[in-house]
């Protein structure tokens, strides 16, 4: 085990190249199992979640080669049974269900693990695959899904208690591309990562319309073919570095971004008094921290609303912004575990019923803190960059799930950080 040691107070300047999207890469990797032809996927981030997915695919029988962000997959001979040991570390492993049932007519997937940020049931995934004609049983913690006669298109509403499900939309879309007839997904997630998966499937020969809207129509085809595809930039990594620059930056430029995907984050940071300038193509952005920052208010919502995956990072910024800010998470109301750790550093935060009220303080102080999930760990890193003194962040494996070479990237823009063995683990 390792910990991240952050020496706070250093001004950030320079450039960071944003990696490919973790949340787009995982279902795209899974979707490569839909064909027996070779697939090349570029700009896959070097993060542990993507590494786990590659490992699981290999254990399912696929030939997977990885080098410099490019993954080459040949799934000519695969089987459809994953083990708990393979999938327990990653919740997104559930997205293997759609492609395996579609291609193999059967799969065994253990109920997934991953980060703990509130109740995220797989009920919608099960209901969706059942709507296409599959039978589902739960035995000894495994989902046993069978469709011996193949899947059949249907109209499926994916509306959940806290809005559309991204992975559920991904799973159903991957299952439906090889189903007989037409599938209509109502209340579909519209996130850029869903659109990226749809574009990948279309390049493989799928017939999909409406990705990026609440209604996706898929006309099943008999076979998909191989392709060469590049994953979109990671908007959450980009947003995290934008917030870092808003806290401590004097000219931080991010390359490989998509302006359209960052609109709500950009609008909020500008409203809070920070300078955000994109290039003409919207593929790079420069951030300078405002001299007179202002408090803000956010309420998370499905895309194009404010992303729940950027809630913790903005809470860290608000903790050192004068005035009172309010953060409400309507998607994962329990996603405030980072707040107790920020309070150890001197933050003034009150959390009640899915809402955090943050009174900005003059300074934070370095302290030993513990990461509880992926985005909470990012918030602690951001707070540590601003804090006086040294902060030790334990359980660093959380941040490695979704941030590629974060230590090197921070060092490259002037932060003082180091990874050390964690003797406390």
Active-site annotation, residues: 115
Peptide bond into 392 cis (omega under 30): no
Neighbours of 66 (CB within 10 A): 16
CA distance linking residue 131 with residue 95, whole number of Å: 17
Provide the token pair at 196: 């990226």
Neighbours of 13 (CB within 10 A): 16
Which of these, 374, 299, 390, 363, lies nearest to 337 by C-alpha position? 374
Residues 6+ apart with CB under 8 A from 139: none
Which of these, 238, 105, 280, lies nearest to 175 by C-alpha position? 105
Distances (CA, A) of 148 to 94, 102, 106: 20, 10, 7
CA distance linking residue 404 with residue 236, whole number of Å: 12
Neighbours of 190 (CB within 10 A): 20
Pairing relation of β-strands 416-421 and 135-139?
unpaired
336, 300 contact by CB (below 8 A): no
For residue 184, with 0-12 CB atoms within 10 Å meaning exposed, 13-18 middle and 19 or more buried, which class applies? middle
356, 336 contact by CB (below 8 A): yes
């Amino acid at each position: 085990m390792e910990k991240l040691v952050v020496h706070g107070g250093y001004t950030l300047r320079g450039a960071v190249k944003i990696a490919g999207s973790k949340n787009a890469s995982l279902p795209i990797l899974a979707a490569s199992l839909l064909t027996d032809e070779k697939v090349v996927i570029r700009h896959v981030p070097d993060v542990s979640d993507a590494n786990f997915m590659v490992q699981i695919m290999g254990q399912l029988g696929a030939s997977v080669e990885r080098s410099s962000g490019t993954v080459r997959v040949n799934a000519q001979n695969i089987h459809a049974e994953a083990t708990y040991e393979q999938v327990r570390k990653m919740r997104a492993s559930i997205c293997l269900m759609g492609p395996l049932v579609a291609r193999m007519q059967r799969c065994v997937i253990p109920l997934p693990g991953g980060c703990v940020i509130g109740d995220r049931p797989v009920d919608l995934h099960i209901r969706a695959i059942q709507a296409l004609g599959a039978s589902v049983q739960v035995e000894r913690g495994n989902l046993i899904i069978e469709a011996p006669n193949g899947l059949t298109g249907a109209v499926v509403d994916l509306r959940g208690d806290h809005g559309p499900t991204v992975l559920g939309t991904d799973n159903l879309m991957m299952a439906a591309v090889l189903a007989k007839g037409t599938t209509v997904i109502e209340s579909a997630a519209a996130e850029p990562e869903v659109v990226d998966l749809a574009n990948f499937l279309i390049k493989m020969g799928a017939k999909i319309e409406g990705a990026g809207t609440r209604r996706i129509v898929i006309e099943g085809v008999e076979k998909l073919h191989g392709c060469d595809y590049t994953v979109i930039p990671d908007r959450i990594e980009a947003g995290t570095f934008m917030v870092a620059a808003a806290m401590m930056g004097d000219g931080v430029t991010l390359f490989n971004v998509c302006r359209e995907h960052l609109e709500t984050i950009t609008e909020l940071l500008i409203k809070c008094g920070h300078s955000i300038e994109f290039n003409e193509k919207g593929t790079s952005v420069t951030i300078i921290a405002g001299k007179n920052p202002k408090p803000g208010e956010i309420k998370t919502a499905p895309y194009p609303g404010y992303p729940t995956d950027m809630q913790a990072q903005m809470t860290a910024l608000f903790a050192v912004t004068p005035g009172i800010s309010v953060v409400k998470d309507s998607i994962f109301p329990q996603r405030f575990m980072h707040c107790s750790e920020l309070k150890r550093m001197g933050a003034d935060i009150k959390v009640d019923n899915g809402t955090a009220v943050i009174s900005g303080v003059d300074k934070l102080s370095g302290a030993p803190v513990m990461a509880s999930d992926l985005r909470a760990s990012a918030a602690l890193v951001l707070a540590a960059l601003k804090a006086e003194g040294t902060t030790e962040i334990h359980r660093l494996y959380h941040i490695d799930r979704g941030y590629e070479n974060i230590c090197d990237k921070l060092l490259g823009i002037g932060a003082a950080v180091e990874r050390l063995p964690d003797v406390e683990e």
